[in-house]
Structure 1
Amino acid sequence: MFVRNSVRCLQVSAASCRQSHPQGKHNVDLSGIFPPITTPFNADESIAFDKLASNMKAWEKIPFKGYVVQGSNGEYPLMTAEERVEMVRKVRELIPKDKLLIAGSSCESTRSTVELTNQMADAGADAVLVINPSYYKTSMTTAALKDHYERVAEGSKVPVILYNMPANTGIDLPANLVSNLAEHPNIVGIKDSGGDITKIARMVHDTKHLDFQIVAGSTGFLLPALLVGCVGGINGLANVLGDEVCRLHQLAMDQKYQEANELHLKLIAPNAVVTRELGVPAMKEAMDMVGLYGGPCRRPLQALSEPDRKHVREIFKTAGY
């Protein structure tokens, strides 16, 4: 997957970027691994806060830098604003003060995003993760998106992290837009889930003079993203294989690239099945497999069929987990 002759050039670029920007604006340091945690539901689709507490207790044994609450894995589009804020409040109560809590505050309107952002800040969020509006897709021009993010950043009590997820939104934030937004004093970084390493490298290069951090949105390209200058990852697979994803990050930081690549290759199939292949239902099935609480999804998401459940288990078993 990697050309050996290019690794040294890449590691020099990545190392210089990390040394230039060891910590983000407003002391928000995104280096490390952050699981975008799932929302546990009871059979009646109410939030199972007791199961949240047991999951957090298990996750706290893993060297995560912090947590993302109400990201895509949290099923946030299927929840009320009140439920989303309450999840932030509960997680803040369950984790140490030195753990970074990032809350997904995205709404379709700019006004609602600002309001929810500040409610989440009051509930204990240290920063917010904001995906772009997408329902009126053809109207989401570069100018409209720039205006949206700048207004959210100006109105937010806490730092803002951009979130690029073209597979879900149908919009891929242009690299030049990200570079322009990186100039804003309250926009501290971006989670990029597009997976285009060339684009990620360009964003690293174009923002290297700024206090701006880029994190990989999937374990599937975490290692190459780190090699071109990303500082960490917000990775769904970390819900299930947190120790392994953290180890992959640490191996890259320690420049143990052969070991890192071997581990990366083992994680590709498990990551794919719980993300782009079968999504949140598979993520929750895998969590149940390893002794965490996954539980049901909220409708309209459906439980996995028995063949799909077996497929998830076989993928993890084949990978050695």
Structure 2
Amino acid sequence: MLLQGIFPAITTPFYPDGKLYLKKLEHNVDRYSRTPISGMVVLGSTGETVMLSDAEQRDVLRVAREVAADEKVLVAGVGQESAHNTLALIEVVAKLGYDVALVRTPSYYRPQMKSKPDSLLAHYRFVADRSPLPVLLYSVPPYTAYDLPTELVAELSAHPNIIGIKESSGSVEKIAAMREATAQVKRTVSVTEIFNAVTGRMLEGTADNVASSGGVIPADALKVTSATAVATPPKRPKFKVRTKEVGFQIAAGAAQMLLPSLQAGATSAVLAFACAAPTACYEVYTAWKEGDLKLAELKQERISRAAKRIAGEFGVPGTKYASELNGYYGGPARLPLLPLTAAEKAEIESLMKDIRN
């Protein structure tokens, strides 16, 4: 499966009393669906997944899938401390219609995993062998205090159901090292005529549709969205499929290092800052993709300081508040994440003044 472009790691909305605010989740997902992002990550670190009960996780996953536009790739954060529980959640999200399973490294028994790296090999292979969805590794050392070694990533990259990694160490050097270490991986994936991703979910029913239409796709069915609002696309669009060769796919995780990460070998980015500024992040990616390095550098400079401070330092509360400035619902984070002070809000407003959608 193809992973390219920008994926906001969307936030989970709460009422002031801490209860899930699913109507605001619908609002956010609908608005993200009208931007040029490639898809969304639901229940990543920015989604406060570790703060949610099992029932709440399922509610969030269900609502996001129901509202998201069909052409957006949906990635579900499913990582649990055991391979058994991880696989159980993957089975849930597969039935809901998700496209990719994002599996973070377990961390509670970190000393044993560090002393015996084979334990993580066994964990990921167990999950990937049985998963009905393609698996995206998730290395997030700022939160797990464990960084998947490049050598281990290279070994796992040979598994046919492990399509890539979301690399959140913030190290461009690590991305370059992983790209080199996995250079032998070559896979054929399905794409549209304009080389957008085609997932297993999207292919359901397509064969009959294409056959009955002589392989013709309606012009509006796969229209690439722009920064302006567009109508929600029709369900089950007909489209013609072609193939493309890809390698092991690396998703960068730091917006302040987006351009250097792409230059080092990342093919996509899963970004907390894209919750607040999806189009601004997309502009960096598009300029790089089109080979306009000067424009890409200008677009990167525009977001770097804000991304580092808001997503990297203020974290979830900062990301939620910055999102509010661009018309999304932010709301509070759950304790122990504290609300922002008035001074912190003022700083975020200043950082975001030139980054409005």
TM > 0.5 fold call: yes
Matched, 1:312 2:287: no
Q: Corresponding residue for 2:128? A: 153
Shift of 1:296: 1.1
Paired position in structure 1 for 2:229: none
Q: Which amino acid aligns with 1:256?
A: D
Aligned residues: 293
How many angstroms does 1:293 deviate by? 0.5
Counterpart-to-counterpart distance in 2, 1:291 and 1:259:
26
* TM-superposed deviation, 1:320: 5.5
State which of 81, 84, 97 in structure 2 corresponds to 1:111.
84
Contact conserved, 2:83 with 2:126, CA < 8 A, in 1? yes
Q: Say whether residues 1:290 and 2:290 are aligned partners.
A: no
CA distance in 2, matches of 1:203, 1:76: 27
| Residue in 1 that maps onto 2:257 | 221
Within 5 A, what are the aligned runs for 1:155-304? 155-210=130-185, 211=187, 212-304=248-340
Question: 8 Å contact 2:80–2:106 — kept in the other structure?
Answer: yes
Give the Cα–Cα distance (whole angstroms) in 1 for the partners of residues 350 and 27 of structure 2.
26
Query: In the alignment, what sits opposite 2:215?
Result: none
Distance in structure 2 (CA, Å) of the matches to 1:103 and 1:247? 24
Higher helix share: 1
Which residue of 1 is the match for residue 40 of structure 2? 67
Shift of 1:74: 0.3
Gaps in structure 1 of 5+ consecutive residues = 1-27
Counterparts of 2:98 and 2:30 in 1: how far apart (Å)?
Answer: 19
CA distance in 2, matches of 1:174, 1:196: 12
Relative to the length of structure 1, the TM-score reads 0.88
- Answer yes or no: is 1:126 the counterpart of 2:115: no
Q: What does 1:44-63 correspond to in 2, within 5 Å? A: 44-63=17-36
The one-letter amino acid of 2:77's match is G
Cα RMSD (Å) of the superposition? 1.3
User: Partner letter of residue 252 of structure 2?
Assistant: A
Q: Write out per-residue CA displacement over residues 183-210 of structure 1, whole angstroms, 9 at most, x where no aligned residue.
A: 0111011010112212211211221221
1:91 to 64, 83, 97: 64
Give the distance between the partners of 1:131 and 1:91, measured in 2 at CA.
Answer: 20
What secondary structure is seen at the aligned counterpart in 2 of 1:140?
helix
Which residue of structure 2 lines up, in the alignment, with residue 143 of structure 1? Answer: 118
> Separation in 2 of the partners of 1:156 and 1:57?
28
User: 1:252: how far off?
Assistant: 0.3
Q: Give unmatched runs, 5+ long, in structure 2.
A: 188-247
Instruction: Judge conservation of contact 2:277–2:355 (CA < 8 Å) in 1.
Output: no
| Percent of aligned pairs with the same amino acid | 35
| Larger Cα-atom Rg | 2
In the superposition, the TM-score normalised over structure 2's length comes to: 0.79
The answer to whether the 8 A contact 2:157-2:182 is kept is yes
